[in-house]
């Protein structure tokens, strides 16, 4: 779509009570203004002019262009929405329509924006304006109409009389118009109003006076045009967004134990018959294959969970690939570079990093495996650790098929344990062990008869 966008994101957001610029507060794990930029990309806009002010450098360092040309424009003084738009006028192409959005209104759907642009393109000399109807419009600019129901202007709440305050159609601030006309109208703005600011909304009356029609459109859902000024409003929209994501997943065949207790902060792709319990947090890119079951209080980030695998309660899986019919947890942690082959079992309080775990292998509890290659059908006893770091470098541990590693074993890397090896409990393995061997390094047990424990002196 041949459209350019101005995003107003210069405000401080004093009511957020935060050092962080308002538009950088996160919803679903992503800054508010990034949602707006991404929506522009989704609708096919080719250029965004981002008007920044408070925390400008921090905003510039945080946002990502997301396959759309992005230009930063600085508004050093916050003198109103009309003044903010004026800062971006020099970068606008006269022959391309301009869409005006807000960095603290994150959930406007790209289809809604596309519809608004289409309305403008149907009448390229007019203005397409997004409005909505509220039971309590207090604080919002009111849409005024003539006896033919044509828009005549917008009156800000502080400037409205009693009759105008009774109007429940309000201005959202989102509009699309001809760029050359926008430049002309912005140049005519004045700040003769209760706020002493340059209102963008004044261009509506200018357009009408110039003989141009203002056509309105409404969003499908009110939350699409809700702005965020407080942390309470941020929390409310977070739940709205999360419930919407859960509904979309349920339509695709996902079962939620409670869709109101779910947090998606990235991208989640699910096959059929996936079950997700309460309080799960999904970050990055996560793929849940058919029949996967995710227990309560689980954190998943940039990972794949295989078909019919189960991740039990309170486990963390990050940067890992879990095969089919595996079980993980409860209270397990799979870190980056971990790969579980089919039918492997990782139990409670087991941590794995940068390791491949073979099919049918079990590490039931209380173990650490790092920089390891573990074969098929290996048993890892409780308290087993790979000592993979010597203070300067990481080293690899190799455990081959059918090995049995007894409890409280330390494998000092680099080391290789061969096939069918049995390592006795309490062993420290420092050299390679050949196939089919028993490895044991315990100190011979001693017993001293008649031993008396030390006692405290009175």
pLDDT digits (tens, 9 = 90+) for 415-455: 999 999 999 999 999 999 999 999 999 888 889 999 888 88
List residues bridging with 282 in a β-sheet: 264, 300
Express as a percent the part of the chain with pLDDT over 70. 100
Q: What is the pTM assigned to this prediction?
A: 0.90
Asked if 315 and 333 count as a contact pair (C-beta separation under 8 A), the reply is yes
* pLDDT at residue 78, rounded to an integer: 87
Q: Give the confidence band of 131 by pLDDT, cuts at 50, 70, 90.
A: very high
Per-residue pLDDT tens digits for 350-366: 999 999 999 999 999 99
What letter would DSSP give residue 342? T
- In the block, tokens 């009389």 appear at 161
Q: What is the pLDDT of residue 445?
A: 87
194 pLDDT more than 90: no
Alpha helices by DSSP H, listed for 44-198, are 56-62, 81-88, 110-122, 162-165, 179-187
Widest CA span in the chain: 109
State the pLDDT at residue 12: 87
Band (1; pLDDT cuts 50, 70, 90): low
The average pLDDT across 106-121 equals 95
**Is 365 part of the annotated catalytic residue set?**
yes
Of residues 131 and 458, the one with the higher pLDDT is: 131
What pLDDT is recorded for position 317? Answer: 98
Which CATH number is 241-439's, of 3.30.1360.200, 2.160.10.10, 3.30.70.2740, 3.40.50.1820? 2.160.10.10
Q: Where are the domains of the chain?
A: 4-225, 241-439
> What is the predicted pLDDT for the residue at 456?
86
pLDDT of residue 18: 94
The DSSP code sequence of 201-249 is: THHHHHHHHTT--EEEE--SSGGGG----SHHHHHHHHHHHHHHHHHHH
pLDDT at 391: 93
Catalytic residue among 120, 341, 365, 395: 365
Report how far residue 353's alpha carbon sits from residue 334's, in angstroms, rounded to the nearest whole number. 6
Domain 4-225 listed as CATH 2.30.30.100: no
Mean pLDDT of 168-191: 95
Q: What is the per-residue pLDDT across 259-308, written as a single tens digit (0 to 9) for each?
A: 999 999 999 999 999 999 999 999 999 999 999 999 999 999 999 999 99
């Amino acid at each position: 779509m041949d459209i350019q966008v101005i995003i107003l994101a210069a405000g401080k957001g004093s009511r957020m009570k935060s050092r962080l610029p308002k538009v950088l507060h996160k919803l679903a794990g992503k800054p508010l203004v990034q949602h707006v930029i991404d929506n522009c990309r989704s609708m096919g806009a080719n250029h965004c002019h981002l008007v920044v002010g408070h925390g400008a450098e921090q905003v510039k360092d945080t946002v990502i262009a997301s396959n759309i040309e992005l230009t930063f424009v600085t508004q050093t003084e916050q003198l109103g929405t009309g003044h903010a738009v004026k800062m971006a006028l020099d970068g606008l192409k006269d022959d391309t329509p301009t869409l005006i959005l807000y960095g603290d209104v994150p959930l406007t759907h790209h289809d809604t924006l596309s519809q608004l642009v289409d309305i403008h393109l149907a009448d390229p000399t007019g203005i397409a304006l997004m409005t909505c109807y509220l039971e309590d419009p207090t604080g919002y600019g009111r849409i005024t109409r003539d006896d033919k129901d044509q828009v005549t202007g917008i009156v800000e709440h502080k400037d409205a009389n009693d009759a105008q305050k009774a109007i429940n159609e309000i201005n959202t601030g989102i509009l699309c118009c001809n760029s050359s006309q926008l430049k002309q109208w912005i140049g005519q703005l004045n700040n003769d109003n209760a706020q002493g600011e340059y209102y963008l909304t004044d261009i509506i009356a200018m357009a009408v006076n110039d003989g141009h029609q203002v056509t309105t459109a409404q969003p499908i859902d009110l939350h699409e045009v809700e702005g965020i000024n407080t942390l309470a409003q941020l929390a409310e929209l977070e739940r709205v967004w999360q419930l919407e994501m859960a509904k979309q997943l349920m339509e695709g065949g996902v079962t939620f134990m409670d869709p109101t207790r779910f947090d998606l902060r990235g991208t989640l792709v699910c096959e059929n018959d996936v079950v997700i319990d309460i309080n799960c947090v999904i970050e990055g890119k996560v793929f849940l294959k058919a029949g996967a079951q995710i227990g309560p209080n689980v954190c998943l980030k940039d990972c794949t969970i295989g078909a019919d695998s189960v991740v039990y309660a309170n486990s963390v899986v990050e940067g890992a690939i879990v095969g089919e019919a595996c079980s993980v947890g409860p209270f397990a942690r799979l870190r980056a570079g971990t790969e579980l082959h089919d039918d492997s079992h990782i139990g409670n309080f087991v941590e794995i990093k940068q390791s491949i775990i073979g099919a049918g292998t079990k590490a039931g509890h209380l173990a650490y495996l790092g920089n390891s290659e573990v074969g098929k059908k290996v048993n890892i006893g409780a308290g087993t650790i790979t000592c993979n770091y010597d203070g300067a470098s990481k080293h690899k541990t190799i455990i081959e098929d059918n090995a049995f590693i007894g409890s409280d074993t330390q494998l000092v890397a680099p080391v290789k344990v061969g096939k069918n090896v049995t390592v006795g409990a309490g062993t420290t393995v420092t050299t390679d062990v050949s196939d089919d061997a028993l490895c044991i390094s315990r100190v011979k047990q001693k017993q001293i008869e008649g031993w008396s424990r030390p006692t405290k002196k009175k």
